[in-house]
Structure 1
Amino acid sequence: MRSQNASFPYWSELLNTAIETASIWQSYRSSGDRFDEMLFPDGTTRPHWRFLKSQLQQLGAAGLTECSATMERLVRENGTTFRVDDGEKKAGSSRPWQVSPIPMVFEPRQWQDLSAGLAQRTILLETILQDLLGPQRLIREGILPGRLLWENPNFYRTYHELDRNSQKLHLTATDLARRSDGQWIVTGDRTRAPSGLGYLLENRIVTSRVFPQLIRSCKTLRCASFFESLREHLRSQAKTQRDNPRVVLMTPPGASYREFEDAYLARYLGMMLVQGSDLAVRGGQLNLKTLGGLLPLQVVWRHVSDRSCDPLELAPDSSSGVSGMLRCVRNQQVAVVNTLGSVLVQTPALMAYLDAANQYFFSEPLTLKSAKVYWCGDDKDRKYVLDHLDDLIVRPAFAVSSDPPYVVSEMSQEDRGKLRGRITASPRDFIAQERFQYSTTPVWTSGGIQSQCVSLRTFQLLRGENVDDERVRVLPGALTRVGKDDLELAWSPVSGNMTQDCWVMSEKPVEHQITLLKESHGSIQIRRAGDELPSRVAEHLYWLGRYSERAEALARLLRTTLDRISGEDEIKSVSEIPRLVYALASMGQVEPSFALESFAANLPELEIVLPRSITDVDQPRGLQRTMQSVVHNATAVRDRLSMDAYRIVQRAQRELNAPLGPDNIGQAIERMGTLIVDLLSFAGIVTEGFVRTHAWQFLELGRRIERADHTADLLLTMLCPATPNGSRIHEAVLQVTDSSMTYRSRYLNLVRLAPVIDLVAVDETNPRSIRYQLDEIVQLLKRLPSGEQEIGPGPDERIAMNMHHQLIMAEPHHLCHLSESGELDRLRALMTMVKEEIPKLAQAVNARYLIHTQTVQQITGAR
């Protein structure tokens, strides 16, 4: 029998069932004078929460614990992190994203009212920005004090009338909290490049994976249509080539707090992720620098600060932008979303004047009120602030900061006096804001369900005036943050709070989820070229190939060495161990002293040193640092890698970092095996998943160069010195190079030097041989683009072809010839040539294709 509630006819009789004594909700209480999102003041459950509450009760504590663990695993596998910069963590460090399994829930009518207020506010902010960057009527009429604009350090005169007759704001965000009286209050606007949209999407994806049936049963509005509208709106902003414009997402360089989110959004929306160094202005047109030349851009969705976009006209010390961008905007050659100068309407001090501005433009009050704000640059407001400091919180007036506000009531007398002095000395730089109690909502933690404070960040898309339906699309949901008190939520969304998915319920069944691969009826030119690869991306792919190959080589060498140390024989009697340790020292995994007998006698035992070296982050060329470089380069090109490939990289580093137990040699061998499997899986996914464009070629080129380098180094170290009884050393070489199975299939158990050299050095059919690497390198270099003026092979090709020729001409039995000193001088000469030429080849590749990139990565070093 269905419930007769008109608003929610899908409720079942379960809503009226009494909750068992062992209810997971029995300890949950509303927080007295705060508004509770789930409970009425008398403790009864609000109607729109009843169904969800009963379903969660059926899961019980064990079920919610399992769901929470699953969500943590999904977040971990997806590599969802954010960068923090607070007093507890090192600036720029990363932490996993945190999602609670209990969502925030909205009833339809409540969300409709909130959406109407958000739409009104969004249109107001667009109107104010159009005015500030144009006629400035608000200042002339005295609605806004002129000082609020002229003394704003974020205002540059070049913003004024920069992009005439164009929409200024496109995507905005609004921070909200609910007061004790149940009213939603705006605590801040974000109009420059609102962050959090990607994390909101991740919350929804993870939650829907854990509760697929429940999210449908609650008739939760989907988010995908908003992202489809966003993508189509960005395309519609193109000034030229409107049929199929090139739209890019411009992200800050380096370890930005936007790193994960921008890569996530670029992948989801099918956009190219670029940095300022990828762009160039030529002939008044903004272009993408690629290996195949310059490609014109039509739309830039920027996540770089306004002042950093153009060092020519704005901040000259910026490395995030591109010189000449403003000129392209001014000449209507490119659209920048949001417009340069949009930072002005997220100025915290502006909130004090929004009601008056809305009354001036639209002759009506704002339905969604802002938290009461006092700008200390106004004499009347400053006097009020200084008289009521204990009742207020103080923030910067012009900058949105992740730093916590000044809570005057919790400051010492000395600190209060200092703050009062700062306000008096520079009043324009401060605002004071009313402090109110945020509403609470249920949150699942390890100790059960707790009541925590909650705040929202909503997202609005402002479209053109000629759209068929509503001009402002409000995303049906929000980035929901929860914390133990209000001050936790006063920080930015990247400050590390627990988050929740936000479910907006519908009164009718929700339509089928649309896809971002919606069919288009227009024609499109078929493409198969891959020339549109920025050199910066090519560099990261190249080094991803090199570092991943180096990590595998180190893991194989470590496993082979540990295998022999853990055997029944005495270490001193195992002839290959000194050579293996020397090879490890040569690659930088252990200190060189361990390779010298005179020093090794006074050093710790290898059984202790080698397992410890696996987790040693201080060795600059060791396994840990190598894997860190793998992750760094994979993250830099995350939008180019499949989700499975990226997950493998994340998992490999996570498992490598786990502490070793008492049986550390056995665990170390097992861990090396796991790492090798992960790296082979990554290589396999890349091989099968990458289209054979320049992106794949650079990744493959890095792998082949590195494999040739470390294989030559291994043969120099293991085979070239005099070897009285070499069969065990030969077997170790075969094991490290993953060639044992091939050797056995050809020669059974008869291990001899000549076939070992043939298989590992000059066999063109063995994917692990040096000859095979050079075959591939020569072909890869031939397929890379060359300059119009180049005739014949380039410098990099000549180096590779010279090495290739010498390997082709090498004869295995000739390389096995012993000199009078009993050493393999001919093999040594050949391997030394490879070792000397590989760095020259790498430098030539860098000079030809990667010379403009700002950072230099390096693996090899002096031995």
Structure 2
Amino acid sequence: MPITSTRWLSNYNTEYRNDEMFTPKNGIKPYWNKLLTEFDKLGPNGLMARQRDIDWLLFENGVTYNVYNDPQGMHRPWNLNVVPFILPKSEWQTVEAGIEQRAELLNLVLKDIYGEGNLIKNGIVPYEIIYGHRGFLRQCAGIEYPTDKFLSIYAADLSRGTDGRLWVVNDRAEAPSGMGYALENRSTTSRILPEMYGRMNVKRLSGFFQELNQMLIAASPVKKENPNIVILTPGSHNETYFEHAYLSSFLGYPLVQGNDLVVRDGFLWMKSLQGLKRIDVVLRRVDDAFADPLELREDSHLGVAGLLDVVRRKNVSVINPVGSGVIENPGLIPFMPAVAKYFLNQDLILPQIASWWCGQERERKYVLENLSHLVIKRIDRTNRESIYFTEFMAQQQLNDLKKEIEETPYRYVAQERISFSTAPNLVNESIESRNLVTRAFCIASDDKYSVMSGGLVRVAPDRETIRVSNQRGGTSKDLWVLDDAPIKEDKYRHWQKRSSVAISGLNDLPSLTAENLYWAGRYVGRTLVNARFIRMVMRHMALVQNRNEKPDSIKLQVLFKAVTQLTGTYPGFTDKTKEGKLAMEDPMEEMLSVILDRDRPGSLAHTISMFSNSYYSIRNLWSSDMWRVFENIQKLWQSFEEGKDRSINKILKVLNQLITRLIAFMGLIEESILVQQGLLLYFIGLQLEQSMLTITKCRSLLTIKYDEQVEYDLLEYLLASHESLNIYRYSYRSYIQLEHVLDLVLLDLEYPRSLTFMLNRVQKDIARLPHSHKENSLSNYQKYIFEAFSRLRLAESSDLVKTKSETDFFREELDTLLEKLSELLYESSQSISSTYFNHTNKQNQLVTQSFPI
């Protein structure tokens, strides 16, 4: 094969010998040469175009990674480099064998730690390494599991050592992350680089995820056709929440949080809208110590009280078992060769990073004498910052670390300072070398382990960075394992029939998911109604400004007060501010606060933020088209917040775009999920919110009688903000009159924007909720809605427009009706929440325990 053009390597650091692309003699490996030849066909501009396509596709699909305290925002876009990391089948076979061996070995270690304890009894592993590790949970001792393997999922971080072999750097067993990102990376690269993906003979990932699904089914303690399987997530703020939602959507299992689950009578149940539904298998993404606040960390709101008791009874399978974090222990690494001999009578297939446990005198002496040339870790490191790269530490810091090691030597392990191998990365139209670490995954499959033919590759952001971490700004690569022969196209493979346990109806909907759907509807409706009303007020302010009129007219004062009442941003325009001045004196300042102050409850920015939070919490339910529109809304608003233009015209432009995108988003919701899969809750929330805000608008603008011209203008403003002005003109073809407006906005049974129509729809929708099916009686929330609807149907617009006398300015009957309707809708909302969304029950430990994190 001819050597490819060197134009790709003009900025490449070829002096670095431990590079994946080069042989020890600085030649290009054949399979890398083949890839560069493929790049030659695209050329620099073509390759950069493919990178932009990848960035666009990941953004469109909403692939994110949460970075804590990130100034760029919580949900950082996932970065994937167009240049894959490639390994030949011949080398990967060794990796597979080594990963399978290590998974089996750690499975036996985990069984022994919580079982017979022979490793400690026979002096193979010092007891301090196990019992001094925060991952060891005494509460898990003696628990037996219904699965053949204790360790069902295992991941290993790999890097190439100076000997040219891939070494194990870290073990991951507590709740290994990255499988979903690896799958998304493959999905993206195979779409953007389809020709070279086929010509390079890349091994597929589909079979691995088929086996993952079957492993979860087989883990059920009760062998049945459709075991109930859930994915337990800490929530939308977790760094890998996208992956939790992605796997939930891909596998078809409900995504639940701790509050969705409850223990009753020795079994684990999911709170659904119907009641309790027994759960057989939990794929756990919550850390060990947080899994059961009754026996473990009592301050945890992420787990399920009593979960360990259900596991002891073998009534549920938790994957991986609680307590698995103990084998994520760098202190075990020096003893793994002896452990392999003890359990398997084998040598380790994959080499490990050289490590010295400081609890041994000779090893501790060596570590202290060579401290500045090693990497120091705590065996139970509690965060990412407890890794000490001593070459970068000042002398006083080294002295302090040395003292810590001498005081509690068993807590520390030293490792050889290795240089990660580098691999090609597309950077600014050229290919440069970057440090990388590969995470390989395997799962228990029958009586053995199966390894993914690929993995998650993480890449350092620049040449100088030693530590490779997504939290530190790293990027990712797709791992291509190259076969010797062309890969046959995958035939469409159905999931096994007995694994079809996707959410099928309201009775199977987790209560927290239902609540988030309900509030998603509430916040979407609130955002749209408020944005429309604020737009209408800003348009009038623009007219006043253009005419050089004073902004103190009665109409404007009424509108400004209505803004405060509609958004709930009191005192606002209704009273003096904290500084003692009236907001009316500077209405633009108050309006900007109502629009842009994210920390002010009720403001448009705050409502958009709440809408975003509710959306993220249930993103596994939404379609990719919805995500695109949602991201456009976020991008629009972020750009507005960061910009400096606060003119009325700019605000109106942004509000127009926001309203249009919200309407598109609402239209797509109905295409994403079925009514019986939760859309019903969204509809109920949306209609209730719009109904309550319609009542507030009418009370603010219509209950006081003004002179004829002011009242005419207010009626027009109401209809305009309600998107009903054209409908009114078409329907009545007359001068705008209050009686007709009330008929249209409040009482019309056929007009979809009228209050009567919306309440009628709510009445029908809540009748489909599980607890509404009572013979000859109504639930409380049904009674409230029924009374509200009945009062509207009995109302007469001719009576509502009246005042007590010609000189009276207050329409008491209209205000009384609206006030009562508002109370009834509030009570209905409270009743729905208490019936279906009650997550307040909390169990506490009888004895407080300390679990350091």
For normalisation by structure 1, the TM-score amounts to 0.90
User: Which deviates further from its counterpart, 344-353 or 66-75?
Assistant: 66-75
Match of 2:686 in 1: 703
Contact 1:288 1:295 in 2 (8 A): yes
Tell whether the 8 Å contact from 1:249 to 1:272 is kept in structure 2 after alignment: yes
The match for 1:507 is 484
Choose between structure 1 and 2 for higher RCO, CA contacts under 8 A separated by at least 6 residues: 2
Query: 2:352 maps to which residue?
Result: 370
1:488/1:497 contact within 8 Å kept: no
Of residues 496-505 and 569-578 in structure 1, the stretch that sits farther from structure 2 once superposed is: 569-578
CA shift in 2, pair 1:348/1:737, >3 Å: same
| Aligned equivalent of 2:432, options 450, 473, 476 | 450
Query: Which of the residues 812, 818, 839 maps onto 1:852?
Result: 839
User: How far 1:434 moved relative to its partner?
Assistant: 0.6
State which of 1, 7, 23 in structure 2 corresponds to 1:40: 23
Query: How far has the Cα of 1:605 moved from its partner?
Result: 5.7
- Sort the Cα spacing of 1:730 and 1:675 in 2 relative to 1 into closer, same or farther, 3 A: same
Aligned equivalent of 2:249, options 245, 267, 271? 267
Q: How many residues align?
A: 829
1:860 corresponds to: none
Query: Matched residue of 2:203: which SS?
Result: coil
- Report the secondary structure of 2:771's partner residue: coil
- State the distance in 2 between where 1:822 and 1:828 align: 12
2:77 aligned with 1:96: yes
The residue matched to 2:277 in structure 1 has which SS? Answer: strand
CA distance 1:169–1:517, change in 2 (3 Å): same
Q: 1:797 to 1:525 in 2, by over 3 A?
A: same
CA distance in 2, matches of 1:324, 1:523: 27
Q: Which amino acid aligns with 2:666?
A: A
8 Å CA contact 1:611–1:664 kept in 2: the answer is: no
* CA shift for structure 1 position 500: 1.3
Given candidates 635, 646, 665, the residue that maps to 2:627 is 646
Structure 1 letter corresponding to 2:660: V
Give the AA of the match of 1:112: Q
Change (3 A) 1:484 1:638: closer
Quick one: which of 380, 392, 395 aligns to 2:362? 380
Q: For 1:558 and 1:83, locate their aligned partners in 2 and report how far apart those are by CA, in whole Å.
A: 33
SS of structure 2 residue aligned to 1:314: coil
- What's the counterpart of residue 81 of structure 1? 64
- Residue of 508, 519, 530 corresponding to 1:554: 530
Contact kept in structure 1, 2:152 and 2:444, CA below 8 Å: yes
Is 1:29 the counterpart of 2:13? The answer is yes
Whichever residue aligns with residue 745 of structure 2, its letter is: V
Paired with 1:312 and 1:590, the residues of 2 have a C-alpha distance of: 41
**Using a 3 Å threshold, how does the CA distance of structure 1 residues 694 and 580 change in structure 2: closer, same or farther?**
farther
1:586 maps to 565
Whichever residue aligns with residue 384 of structure 1, its letter is: Y
Task: Please give the alpha-carbon distance, in whole angstroms, between the structure 2 residues aligned to 1:550 and 1:850.
Answer: 20
Which one of the candidate residues 554, 562, 566 is aligned to 2:542? 566
Provide the residue aligned with 1:244 in structure 2.
Answer: 226
Where do 1:836-851 residues align within 5 Å? 836-851=823-838
Separation of aligned partners in 2, 1:797 and 1:787: 8
Normalised by the length of structure 2, the TM-score is 0.91
Tell me the residue number matched to 2:739.
754
Using the alignment, how far apart are the partners of 1:525 and 1:501 within structure 2?
A: 30
Name whichever of 421-430 and 587-596 sits farther off. 587-596
Q: Distance in 1 between the 2:16 and 2:758 partners?
A: 71
- Could you say if the C-alpha distance between residues 572 and 815 of structure 1 is closer, same or farther in structure 2, counting changes exceeding 3 Å? farther
The 1:234/1:555 distance shift into structure 2, 3 A limit, reads: same
Residue of structure 1 aligned with 2:194, choices 212, 229, 241 = 212
Letter in 1 for 2:346: E
Q: For 1:164 and 1:753, how far apart are their aligned partners in 2?
A: 71
| Pair 47,253 (structure 1): closer, same or farther in 2 beyond 3 Å | same
| Residue 7 (structure 1) aligns with | none
Cα distance change on mapping 1:304 and 1:579 into 2, 3 Å = same
Which of residues 310, 316, 327 is equivalent to 2:309? 327
Displacement of 1:488 in angstroms is 4.9
User: Cα–Cα, structure 1 residues 454 and 523, in superposed 2: closer, same or farther, change >3 Å?
Assistant: closer
- Unaligned 5+ runs, structure 1: 4-14, 466-470, 856-863
Q: Is the 8 A contact 1:249 1:271 kept in 2?
A: yes
Q: 1:625-666 deviations in whole A, cap 9, x for unaligned? A: 111111111111122233332332232122112134648433
Taking a change above 3 Å as real, the CA distance of residues 178 and 148 of structure 1, as seen in their structure-2 partners, is same
* Inter-partner Cα distance in structure 2 for 1:89 and 1:487: 23
Is 1:533 the equivalent of 2:518?
A: no
In 1, Cα distance between the equivalents of 2:26 and 2:587? 66
Deviation at 1:854, TM superposition (A): 7.5
Q: d(CA) in 2 for partners of 1:706 and 1:340?
A: 42
Give 1:686 shift.
2.0
Deviation at 1:85, TM superposition (A): 3.8
Q: SS at 2:639's partner residue?
A: coil
* Contact 1:279/1:289 (<8 A) preserved: yes
Gaps of 5+ in 2: 843-853
1:130 aligns with 2:111: yes
> Distance between the aligned counterparts of 2:93 and 2:567, measured in 1?
62
- Secondary structure in structure 1 of the residue aligned to 2:437: strand
Offset of 1:18 from its aligned partner?
4.6
Aligned counterparts of 1:517 and 1:699: Cα–Cα separation in 2: 31
Whichever residue aligns with residue 76 of structure 2, its letter is R
2:846 matched residue in structure 1: none
- Whole-angstrom CA distance in 2 between matches of 1:591 and 1:792: 40
* 1:803 is the counterpart of 2:788: yes
Q: Residues 809-820 of structure 1 correspond to what in structure 2 (within 5 A)?
A: 809-819=794-804, 820=807
Q: Which amino acid aligns with 1:588?
A: T
Matches within 5 A, 1:676-691: 676-691=659-674
Structure 2 matches for 1:137-152, cutoff 5 A?
137-152=118-133
Once the 2 structures are TM-superposed, how far is the Cα of residue 809 of structure 1 from its aligned partner? 0.9
Give per-residue Cα distances to partners, 1:575-613, cap 9 Å, x unaligned.
Answer: 64333322222233867444679955874463x764675
**Residue in 1 aligned with 2:756?**
771
1:830 corresponds to 2:812: no
Equivalent residues of 1:158, 1:313 under 8 A apart: yes
CA distance in structure 2 between the partners assigned to 1:489 and 1:199 by the alignment: 22
Aligned 1:257-656 pairs, distance under 5 A: 257-399=239-381, 401-403=383-385, 405-446=387-428, 448-465=430-447, 471-483=448-460, 488=465, 490=467, 493-513=470-490, 517-518=494-495, 520=497, 529-567=505-543, 568-572=546-550, 576-588=555-567, 592-594=571-573, 599=581, 603-604=585-586, 606=588, 610=591, 613-656=594-637
**Could you say if the C-alpha distance between residues 331 and 581 of structure 1 is closer, same or farther in structure 2, counting changes exceeding 3 Å?**
same
Q: Within the alignment, does 1:51 sit opposite 2:34 as a pair?
A: yes
- 1:231 matched to 2:210: no
Cα deviation per residue 1:115-137 (whole Å; 9 max; x = unaligned)?
22212211111122222222222
CA contact (8 A) 1:575 1:729 kept: no
Q: Tell me if the contact between 1:248 and 1:273 (Cα under 8 Å) persists in the aligned partners.
A: yes
Paired residue secondary structure (1:504): strand
Does structure 2 conserve the Cα–Cα contact (< 8 Å) formed by 1:37 and 1:440?
A: yes
Distance 1:398 1:791, change over 3 A: farther
Match of 1:11 in 2: none
Match of 2:648 in 1: 665
Matched to 1:751, the amino acid is I
Q: Deviations over 1:146-204 (max 9, x none)?
A: 22223333222332230157410111110111123322111100011101122222222
Question: One-letter code of the match for 1:475?
Answer: M
Deviation at 1:537, TM superposition (A): 1.5
Structure 1 residues 808 and 194, CA, compared in 2 at 3 Å: closer, same or farther?
same
